[in-house]
Amino acid sequence: MRFSALGLLGLSGVLSATAVPLVHGEEQDWNLKREESAQEPNFLSLRPSLAHQYDSDNNIPKEKHFVESSFHYHYDGRFANETLPDEKVAPYLSNLIQTYLATMDSIGAETWIMHGTLLSWWWNMKIFPWDNDLDVQISEPTIHFLAEYYNFTDHHFEIPGVEGGRTYLLEINPYYVVKSTLDKLNVIDGRWIDKSSGLFIDITAVRPDDAKRQRGHLEALMCKDKHHYEESDIFPLRESYFEGVPVKIPYAYTELLAEEYGSSSMTKTLFKDHHFNDKTKVWDRISSKVKRMFRRGWGGDDIPKRSPGTEPVIRMDAV
């Protein structure tokens, strides 16, 4: 099965812009112009019939579905045999998340950013310049929906400045039906893969934690990668922007980031040889002089902190 999109409306404007639209209530139309019938499956109408439960602890797979490339663990070796030059990674990742979010929005699939991608959103609603991977989550009904109707589908986008555009593959791990954390080989439930470069987005499903719920913990959620949440940590999802397009984020995003990375991850402005510029809202690569200061014992307490009042924009009208 192949799905084709004529492009993201206004994508060229996003790619050339230096700032994300921040005006309260200001939105752009990021729906896909799709070539398939308007009668395609709609997640909201199918959700009740897709929320299945699986008892899988006695049937743990012995093989890994997603196999990363031999040259880099953030590339799919089926579509590339080498890494991209460093200066090309960020633009490819930006297109990767823009097309993923637009596609999920177009088909009505519930998804949000998490882990390091959520942390990069916190700083300036853009991907960290040193990143080479992206992480998103989906709800359990969504993984069933994508597996039944969109697994192994190609999605083509005409991208400004990219001759012939790019095609992205949505692939769902067939072992997504195994919920147990004992399945250590298949903690990633799906991927959105750039077939031109091999870069991908990891997709993990958030599910009810049956063991905890049986003990009376009725809001317990879990992923196969052993992350655990409360329903109120994630829902209701908030709306914001990331890489210039609308995105959903978990409700208690600051608490989740503090738990996963520590509170200092949202305040310290020196990281991975970069310094966060409060004026430009950009991570600048730091000089050799600053690196030498660290080597000479510049203490962590001396690291400059992020100034107050520079938090990311939340669309309060959508909370």
Q: Is 112 within the bounds of a domain? A: yes
Q: Is 255 within the bounds of a domain? A: yes
Q: Is 319 within the bounds of a domain? A: no
Residue 129 pLDDT exceeds 80: yes
pLDDT by residue (tens digit) across 234-289? 999 999 999 999 999 999 999 999 999 999 999 999 998 999 999 999 999 987 66
Q: How confident is the model at residue 295 (pLDDT cuts 50, 70, 90)?
A: low
pLDDT by residue (tens digit) across 191-226? 999 999 999 999 999 999 999 999 999 999 999 999
Phi and psi angles of residue 281, each rounded to the nearest 5 degrees, phi first: 60, 40
Q: Is 9 within the bounds of a domain? A: yes
pLDDT at 187: 96
Q: Is 291 within the bounds of a domain? A: no
Looking at residues 295-299, what average pLDDT do you find? 50
Q: Is 80 within the bounds of a domain? A: yes
pLDDT by residue (tens digit) across 3-35? 444 344 344 333 322 222 222 223 333 333 333
Q: Is 104 within the bounds of a domain? A: yes
Structural domain for 102, as ranges: 2-261
Looking at residues 152-157, what average pLDDT do you find? 97
- How many domains does the chain divide into? 1
Q: Is 23 within the bounds of a domain? A: yes
3-state SS track over the chain? CEEEEEEECCHHHHHHCCCCCCCCCCCCCCCEEECCCCCCCCHHHHHHHHCCCCCCCCCCCCCCCCCCCCCCCCECCCCCCCCCCHHHHHHHHHHHHHHHHHHHHHHCCCEEECCHHHHHHHHHCCCCCCCCCEEEEEEHHHHHHHHHHCCCEEEEECCCCCCCCEEEEEEECHHHHCCCCCCCCCCCCEEEEECCCCEEEEEEEEEECHHHHHCCCCCEEECCCCCEEEHHHHCCCEEEEECCEEEEECCCHHHHHHHHHCHHHHCECEECCEEEECCCCEEEECCHHHHHHHHCCCCHHHCCECCCCCCCCCCHHHC
Note whether 210 and 226 are within 8 A (CB): no
pTM more than 0.85: no
